[in-house]
Amino acid sequence: MQRYKFCLLVIMLATQMTVMAKPKDKYTNYLINEKSPYLLQHAHNPVDWYPWGKAAFKKAQDENKPIFLSIGYSTCHWCHVMREESFSNPEIAQIMNKHFVSIKVDREERPDIDALYMKAVTAMTGGGGWPLTVFLTPDKKPFYGGTYFPPQDRWGRPGLKTLLLTIANTWNKNKNELLSSANNITKSLKQSITRNTAGSALDESLFKKAYLYFKNNYDSDYGGFFAAPKFPTAHNLYFLLRYYKRTKEPFALEMVEKTLTAMAKGGIYDHLGGGFHRYSTDKQWFLPHFEKMLYNQAFIARIFLEAYQITNKKEYARVAQGILDFVLADMQNTKGGFYTAFDADSRDPYSPKEKKEGSFYLWEKQEIVKVLGKKDSQIFNYYFGVKDKGNIKQDRFGEFKNKNLLYPAHSWLEVSKQFNIGLDKVKKIIRSSKSKLKSIRSKRFKPQLDDKILVDWNGLMISTFSFASRVLNEPRYARAAEKCARFILHNLKSKQGKLLHRWRDNEAKIAGFLADYAFFIHGLIDLYQATFKPLYLQEAKNLNQKMLELFWDEGKGGFFSSSKDNEQLLFRSKKIYDGAIPSGNSIAALDLIRLGRLTMNRDLEDKAQRLFKAFSAQIQQSPYGYTQGLVAFDFILGPSYEIVISGDSKSTDTKKIIDYIYTNFIPNKILVLRPKNLKKAKSIIALSPFIKNQLPIGGKTAVYVCVNYICKFPTTSIEKLGELLED
């Protein structure tokens, strides 16, 4: 009897615990065990979502159902809209569950899947974007697609409900028609993606063709290119700075400067917290799409630093520092890795039950007056263009009613004249006011953070922090880059020396893609040149060898986007087109040429030449689409510099030489430090044997400069070094 009572008690307790542990959510699907923040956002939809994998495709085969593939990312505004409108709708979910196998993909976790089906949808419809909606056969072949679909028919386009029922009906009655269409689309897609035809040899004429394209499409009023929307595509500006250095064409520099100045003054820049939003919805760089992406911070900070090197304008350095300090404060985890992005949407501080785009960054005038007081708020509001009824005119959906976006509407001098106060006092009031409002803003509902860590984007950030540490003479930036590099080497590199793509919640997963290797190697090379620790050059060399083993196309040249270790999709592809993020091939080309010069391995330089030959026909047709590739090709053509500093890394002379080198814009260079002490020099000599006999002169730090393999006499003089670098 006692035993019975004990068992009954256990059952009752277990039942209580089960009830207590039961989630509040009405629905739970197969995404619940995933790590991706984007997939987890959909884990409690009534849709029976599957992650991409064998289980989903087996179900589709067994039940003879088409696949509904939805691709997006966690900080995507219209992905949120479609989730709330359609995927949370039980009626639409019921249709999806009955007629389809539904799969969710995070494009940042699986860029290979995204690239393949984005290409398919673009070919079918003439456009693409996110959320990406694709219908597939059970063997992964696409037969129809689009981007955002409203739940019901709207704006002259079919709603998702109509589309789902139409495709389900066609699949049931005319499946062979859809299968035939899928086969034709896949065949055409394969021909398009795998076609990398070599053309005639590339030469310097490419640079002028690309320059003229940007010149002809330049917005002389507001900077940037074309009309709205405007993207801060930094590699286009990298190219123009190198074109300016090569040709001394002043308009190339003028385009870059006007663009950067307009960006820095626009609402696309966060004037309180630092960092740039993803793009501008208008041509004035005023109203952004409010996402903040890690890769944008890396690219944009770098171009401001390069502009600072050329012009010595401190404003460019200030903006770069604002970006980097924002990343350190808000986007780096305690272990060193950098997070992926901040959402565009957040809860409205004025209507907390509502979630709107940009709410975290916008202000009503009366709140500013309340925080700053009448006198200071007048000055602040005049400077930042704050108005009673808001300063955002482009407001189709009424989201920004009575809201103000901070941007410098007037200069400090105009403020000084308007209020008859000195410039120093104006600056003091503006800085103090910004600090107060930033403090108030920090207490608001923050945009959602996508806290996964991607190796490729982190590699870009390592590169920029390393470069910034030298240009701005700021050691804490080098420390941040080192901390991140060590995090990746410890957590995202296997015992076999291979990279994994994503880390989140103590899990590293997904075999690395070409961009992971190329971008991280790029960061490690810059980190070596920032710290002169041979470990980072050794790691770059080792990973470069792995990159060649896993991705190189020995038959035609160039790198495949996916390795032998990645899941094999419909076919392997190679890409050199530089979109919002440069291609893996473009950065890999720069890796090959820099590592070739650093280690005196001519085979790597030959590989770089073969890479460009493989894509030469594409590049010749439209060189403006390959500007990061042109940056690498500019390095190959030269003039380029191999600079060896021989001396004690901590000596005043050595520091002065390094500072001088980074004060100047010398993009096509490799920099090696040869320690004076032979014992300390052994590890770097093992990597760069050519520096063994490059010694200090008369006990002083010496600089050895070679230009395109032709070496000059060494010098201990900074003045003479300047002459050598001007040749």
**Which top CATH class is 30-193?**
alpha beta
CA distance linking residue 666 with residue 323, whole number of Å: 23
pLDDT at 6 over 50: no
Instruction: Give kind and range of the element (H or E) at residue 639.
Output: none
User: pLDDT digit string (tens) for 543-598?
Assistant: 999 999 999 999 999 999 999 888 999 989 999 999 999 999 999 999 999 999 99
pLDDT of residue 2: 40
pLDDT of residue 17: 34
pLDDT of residue 24: 61
Helical segments of 266-313, H only: 294-311
Mean pLDDT of 139-161: 92
pLDDT of residue 351: 87
pLDDT of residue 727: 60
pLDDT at 81 over 50: yes
pLDDT of residue 196: 62
Domain ranges in the chain are 30-193, 205-342+451-637, 345-446, 641-726
Output the pTM of the full model.
Answer: 0.94
pLDDT of residue 4: 36
Mean pLDDT of 501-529: 98
Mean pLDDT of 668-694: 94
Mean pLDDT of 285-295: 96
pLDDT of residue 518: 98
pLDDT of residue 491: 98
User: pLDDT digit string (tens) for 171-230?
Assistant: 999 999 999 999 999 999 888 877 766 777 899 999 999 999 999 999 999 999 999 999
Mean pLDDT of 532-541: 98
Mean pLDDT of 513-531: 98
User: pLDDT digit string (tens) for 107-134?
Assistant: 999 999 999 999 999 999 998 999 999 9
Q: What percent of the chain has pLDDT over 90?
A: 88
Supply the mean pLDDT for the chain.
93
The b-or-e profile of 154-181 (16+ CB within 10 A means b, else e) is eeeebbbbebbeebbebbeeeeeebbeb
Helix (H, G, I), strand (E, B) or coil at 564: coil
Residue 423, Cβ neighbours under 10 Å: how many?
12
Mean pLDDT of 297-305: 98
Return the amino acid letter for 293: M
Return the amino acid letter for 412: W
DSSP string, 427-455: HHHHHHHHHHHHHHHTTSPPPPEE--EEH
pLDDT at 346 over 60: yes
In this structure, which topology does domain 641-726 adopt according to CATH? Glutaredoxin (3.40.30)
Helical segments of 391-513, H only: 412-419, 423-441, 455-471, 475-491
List the single range of 151-160, 395-404, 711-720 with lowest mean pLDDT. Answer: 395-404
pLDDT of residue 574: 92
Q: How far is CA 620 from the centre of its chain?
A: 26
In this structure, which topology does domain 205-342+451-637 adopt according to CATH? Glycosyltransferase (1.50.10)
User: pLDDT digit string (tens) for 19-35?
Assistant: 333 346 789 999 999 99
- Give yes or no on whether 30-193 and 641-726 have one common fold: yes
pLDDT at 16 over 70: no
pLDDT at 12 over 70: no
